[in-house]
Structure 1
Amino acid sequence: MPLTGHCLCKKVTYSAEIDKPLLTAYDHCDDCQRQSGSTYSLVAVVPKASLTINGPTKSWAGVGSSGMAVHRIFCSECGSPIAHDPDVDPEIIALKAGTLDSEIKKTLEPNTEIWTVSKLDFCQEKLANRFDHMP
């Protein structure tokens, strides 16, 4: 079953033709905190070649810790973040897992935390795999 999802206004839809994400993680980086307006962003990393996005999107590129661009893709109508696309690893893209269809996101099993160097002190949940930055 492909991973499918949409933005808040449903004008942007997407499908990743895979059975499950390569990685499901809590991303604590400062940029994800700011984009999500929360303590972290739950991401589902998929092969970029498997993903098709339809609808009106915009992107904004910031500079990641690698010195390379990270493109943040969002709906141009409602502003929902859809994914972030790091130039440092052109084979993958990180879907914002909150935008996955409800029945799919309920089955996710995060087992990794990334960017714990930026993790807020009051976030107490600890997962088995933890990395100070993107592994």
Structure 2
Amino acid sequence: MPLTGHCLCKAVTYKVDVDQPLITAYDHCDDCQRQSGSTYSLVAVVPKEKLQINGPVKRWAGQGTSGKAVHRVFCSECGSPIAHDPEAAPEIIAIKAGTLDTEIKKTLKPDTEIWTVSKLPFCQEHLEKPFDHMPQ
């Protein structure tokens, strides 16, 4: 069963032709905190070639710690973040898990915690083996 989702206004929909994400991570990086307006962003990392996005999206690129761009994909109508697309890892894209269809996101089991170097001090530990930055 593919992973499907949409933005808040439903102008943007997407489908990922996989049964499960490669990883599901609590992403504590400062950029994800700012984009989500929260303490972290839950992301479902999937093969980029398996993702199909439909609808009006905009992209904004910031510089990642690799020195390469990280493209933020969001709905141009309601502003909902859909994904971030790092040039440093061109084979993957990180879907913002909160945009997955409700029944799909209820089944997610986060297995990774990344960018804990930026984790806010009042956040509780989610997993036993977090990564200071990205897993190698």
TM-score (norm 2): 0.98
The residue that corresponds to 1:89 in the other structure is: 89
The residue that corresponds to 1:62 in the other structure is: 62
| In structure 2, distance between residues paired with 1:22 and 1:53 | 18
The residue that corresponds to 1:114 in the other structure is: 114
Tell me if the contact between 1:7 and 1:82 (Cα under 8 Å) persists in the aligned partners: yes
| In structure 2, distance between residues paired with 1:17 and 1:122 | 37
TM-fit CA distance, 1:134? 1.1
| In structure 2, distance between residues paired with 1:128 and 1:92 | 24
The residue that corresponds to 1:15 in the other structure is: 15
Tell me if the contact between 1:28 and 1:41 (Cα under 8 Å) persists in the aligned partners: yes
The residue that corresponds to 1:103 in the other structure is: 103
Letter paired with 1:102: T
| In structure 1, distance between residues paired with 2:115 and 2:123 | 13
Q: Deviations over 1:5-61 (max 9, x none)?
A: 000000000000000000000000000000000000000000000000000000000
Give unmatched runs, 5+ long, in structure 1. none
Letter paired with 1:116: T
Local SS of the residue matching 2:113: strand
Tell me if the contact between 1:3 and 1:16 (Cα under 8 Å) persists in the aligned partners: yes
Give unmatched runs, 5+ long, in structure 2. none
The residue that corresponds to 1:32 in the other structure is: 32
Identity of aligned residues (%): 79
Letter paired with 2:54: N
Letter paired with 1:74: F
Tell me if the contact between 1:26 and 1:113 (Cα under 8 Å) persists in the aligned partners: yes
TM-score (norm 1): 0.99
Local SS of the residue matching 1:45: strand
Q: What stretches of structure 1 move > 4 A for 4+ residues in a row?
A: none
